[in-house]
């Protein structure tokens, strides 16, 4: 019974997960449960916050049972979450006043345009590190207050609370006592001053968001509160947005270290250390984490649709039964693929930031089959990553020696090899691809003395390195075709 464990909660866009991690940094057990996606109309994406919470609690309990450990052996809980997704709830009843508006949701594009017309783009960039986009929490919060009956009146009275998903889970786990978030999640709201580490009064005023709605902002490795389970109080000591957690879990602790996570979206982050570095190339400046009384920053490029494109092949087109099949079908296309898929289902993210782009398929011929579409969809993940990486290298003024990868699609050897080929960079995949989970676990564990930060790198093991094989001519030719396709998807819906 002397062995201690960390319970990591990973609340994602399509599923809630929980993992038990031992003191050696090994995952003992994982539990996962998908929950419904809600699409009320075109461009709108929602989740039921109560279902998110219920599914997360079910995975929490099942993962402890799977691990066959006592509750008293859990030293701490770490939380990582889908970012930007917005929940507003009644603090007296505990019930959400509307569904969670998901980060992919585009309903607030017109609000973003009005902010741009007011000349706020530079203020937003210099204060929050972000660009004005429907992606972030600020305009989603404004929309709920404007469109839900009595919401603004109740908010002014101090009866409502806003939170990203971490805050919603934390508030419920702490028996509705703690309304807080960490610096990494706060930095994704488009309301937080990442230099002065406070909520920005100008943006709150412009969007008419009462300050009483907002959570307290704490470091990422911090004792937020306690979750009581079976009479045992377990401290919640780590919170970070999923991409920042993955950066930490990959051991990207030094300035210039970078990783790419292939999840529902595709996210490439580079640690810039304690230096706040603004992008000239359409990337975001974000807080990586807060630990040991220091704030670490990162440059980030966001690709909105990655794994979601694979889900589209499965659920929308119904040409695959599972994501795992895509590697086999892609390899069936032996010739160079003439088809390009641009999966701009939610507009284009960095470095283009085009809310009005739409998805498209180019290069169709009479002999195009499902294998060509599958291969082209996989390749689109690698092309979008290259777009971001080029911009990141321009900002950081240093070339990457390698790219650390994680997330579901990193298990696809075809995709990882194509990624190395199109980047002309070594792609490094760890044995434990659960970097997001590990980041949450490590942040929580460091706070309670399970690990020191320097131990984490020694625990990390490499599964495989993918080395580029393409000629420069082939790489350039293929990428030019991709850029041509991108140009034709832009500003589709004006």
Q: Residues at the annotated binding site for ATP? A: 13-15, 264, 307, 311, 408
CA distance 244 to 253: 11
Where is the binding site for ADP, in residues? 13, 17, 264, 307, 408, 412
Binding annotation: 13-15, 17, 83-84, 135, 242-243, 264, 307, 311, 408, 412
DSSP structure class, residue 315: I
98 touches 88 (CB < 8 A) = yes
**348 - beta bridge partners?**
354
Q: Cα(479)–Cα(340) distance, rounded to whole angstroms? A: 10
- Residue ranges of the binding site for sn-glycerol 3-phosphate: 13, 83-84, 135, 242
Torsions phi, psi of 137, nearest 5?
A: -75, -25
**Cβ proximity of 485 and 479 under 8 Å:** no
Binding-site sequence positions for glycerol: 83-84, 135, 242-243
Residue entry with tokens 């009595």 = 150
The helix (run of H) or strand (run of E) holding residue 58 is helix 49-67
C-alpha closest to that of 214 among 172, 187, 180, 169: 180
The runs of H, that is alpha helices, within 118-268 are 121-128, 137-147, 151-156, 165-173, 183-186, 201-206, 242-249
Q: Is residue 335 helix, strand or coil?
A: coil
**At which residue do the structure tokens 């794994």 appear?**
307
Hunting for tokens 């760890």 — which residue is that? Answer: 430
Task: Map residue 89 onto helix, strand or coil.
Answer: strand
Is residue 105 packed enough to be buried (19+ CB in 10 Å), middle (13-18) or exposed (0-12)? buried
Give dist(CA 247, CA 212) in Å, integer: 32
């Amino acid at each position: 019974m002397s062995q201690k464990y960390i319970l990591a909660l990973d609340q994602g866009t399509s599923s809630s997960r929980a993992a038990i991690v031992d003191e050696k940094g090994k995952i003992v057990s994982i539990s996962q449960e998908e929950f419904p996606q809600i699409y009320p109309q075109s461009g709108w994406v929602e989740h039921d916050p109560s279902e998110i919470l219920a599914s997360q609690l079910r995975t929490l309990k099942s993962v402890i049972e799977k691990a066959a450990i006592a509750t008293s052996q859990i030293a701490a809980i770490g939380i990582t979450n889908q970012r930007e997704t917005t929940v507003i709830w009644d603090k007296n009843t505990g019930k959400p006043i509307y569904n969670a508006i998901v980060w992919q949701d585009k309903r607030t594009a017109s609000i973003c345009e009005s902010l741009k017309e007011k000349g706020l783009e530079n203020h937003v960039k210099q204060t929050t590190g972000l660009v004005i986009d429907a992606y972030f929490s600020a305009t989603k919060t404004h929309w709920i207050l404007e469109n839900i009956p009595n919401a603004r009146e109740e908010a002014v009275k101090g009866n409502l609370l806003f939170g990203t998903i971490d805050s919603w889970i934390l508030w419920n786990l702490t028996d509705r006592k703690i309304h807080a978030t960490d610096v990494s999640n706060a930095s994704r709201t488009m309301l937080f001053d990442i230099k002065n580490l406070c909520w920005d009064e100008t943006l709150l005023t412009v969007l008419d968001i009462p300050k009483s709605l907002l959570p307290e902002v704490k470091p990422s490795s911090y004792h937020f509160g306690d979750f009581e389970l079976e009479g045992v109080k377990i401290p919640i000591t780590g919170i970070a947005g999923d991409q920042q957690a993955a950066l930490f879990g990959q051991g990207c602790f030094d300035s210039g270290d970078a990783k790419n996570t292939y999840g529902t979206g595709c996210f490439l982050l580079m640690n810039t250390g304690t230096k706040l570095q603004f992008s000239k190339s359409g990337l975001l400046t974000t807080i990586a984490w807060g630990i040991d009384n220091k704030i670490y920053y990162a440059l980030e490029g966001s690709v909105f649709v990655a794994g979601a494109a694979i889900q589209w092949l499965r659920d929308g087109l119904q040409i695959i039964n599972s994501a795992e099949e895509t590697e086999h079908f892609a390899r069936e296309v032996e010739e160079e693929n003439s088809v390009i898929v641009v999966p701009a289902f939610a507009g284009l993210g960095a470095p283009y930031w085009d809310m009005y782009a739409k998805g498209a398929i180019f290069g169709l011929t009479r002999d195009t089959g499902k294998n060509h579409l599958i291969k082209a969809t996989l390749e689109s993940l690698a092309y979008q990553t290259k777009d971001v990486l080029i911009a990141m290298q321009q900002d950081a003024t240093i070339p990457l020696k390698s790219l650390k990868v994680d997330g579901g699609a990193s298990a696809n050897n075809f995709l990882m090899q194509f990624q190395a080929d199109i980047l002309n960079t070594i792609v490094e995949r760890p044995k434990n691809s659960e970097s997001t989970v590990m980041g949450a676990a490590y942040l929580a564990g460091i706070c309670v003395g399970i690990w020191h930060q320097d131990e984490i790198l020694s625990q990390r093991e490499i599964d495989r390195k993918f080395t580029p094989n393409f000629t420069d001519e082939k790489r350039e030719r293929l990428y030019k075709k991709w850029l041509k396709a991108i140009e034709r998807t832009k500003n589709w819906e004006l």
